[in-house]
Structure 1
Amino acid sequence: MSRPELSLSLQFADPRHRTLLPRHKVQRYIRAALELPGEIAVRIVDAEEGRALNREYRGKDYATNVLTFDYAHEPVVGADLVICAEVVEREATEMGIPLLDHYAHMLVHGTLHAQGYDHEEDDEAACMEARETEILAGLGVPDPYAR
């Protein structure tokens, strides 16, 4: 099955996981979740930048694993995904899962948000989690919600 076209900008403000996340892997994870062509920037940040962005845009004073800034859902998905390296690393360690699997999950999760998926309500959360699980299974990543 062919995947939608993707224009990707990949930035490492926090370089700690640069070798773990080569461009082709990031593209693969995002394209697996894209339903339409996309123009997506991924920025890997440290906790300080992640916290500042979460505070400014969501009013929450802590660094979170992924922030999605979605600008367009169609005809081309336009979004910025900001992933906090420290948070993703800590969560992977706490869950006892490979760091790359957790990054794959965060990239898929953020890409789904960029397309309008949400998890504020229980039925939305169930739909989004099922879609994430399906996409990740296709990538060879175990179900992140089965732990």
Structure 2
Amino acid sequence: MKNLNLKYRGKNKSTNILSFPFNSFINTNKKLLGDLVLCKKIIEKESLKYKKTLESRWAHMIIHGTLHLLGYDHKNKKEKNIMEKKENKIMLSLNYEKPYFMKNS
């Protein structure tokens, strides 16, 4: 994961998830969003750190990565708030706790 993060994002550290958008139509006219690469070791550590079930943490990371594939980001405060609000909404719709505690969400 560290090597992928360095190669594709220029960051010499491990991360919990990387998203690689595809943004093209495959032969059956179904949109292929891209690939998600998840780091099991980091996700397991984070589930303990954030006091979340392993299932909930995995769900959150897949939702987070998929939102990146759909064009969401968290490079600035405005984008971060929009993305985190969307993540909270999706997690609640799947009967998980909110991963973020925000004002007005």
Partner of 1:113: 68
Runs of 4+ in 1 over 6 A off after TM superposition: none
CA RMSD of aligned residues (A): 1.7
Alignment of 1:87-98 (within 5 A): 87-98=42-53
Alignment of 1:1-147 (within 5 A): 50-72=1-23, 76-146=31-101
Question: Aligned-pair distance for 1:90?
Answer: 0.6
Alpha carbons of structure 1 residues 144 and 82: separation in structure 2 relative to 1, 3 Å? same
User: Aligned AA for 2:33?
Assistant: G
User: Aligned AA for 1:57?
Assistant: Y
Counterpart contact for 1:88–1:102, Cα < 8 Å: yes
TM-score (norm 2): 0.87
Question: Aligned-pair distance for 1:68?
Answer: 0.2
Alpha carbons of structure 1 residues 141 and 73: separation in structure 2 relative to 1, 3 Å? farther
Q: Which has the higher contact order (CA 8 A, sep 6+)?
A: 1
Residues 37-84 of structure 1: CA deviation (Å, up to 9, x unaligned): xxxxxxxxxxxxx11100111111111001000011777142100000
Question: Aligned-pair distance for 1:146?
Answer: 2.3
TM-score (norm 1): 0.63
Give me the whole-angstrom Cα distance separating, in 1, the residues matched to 2:9 and 2:81. Answer: 23
- Aligned-pair identity in percent equals 38
Please give the secondary structure, in 2, of the residue aligned with 1:141.
Answer: coil
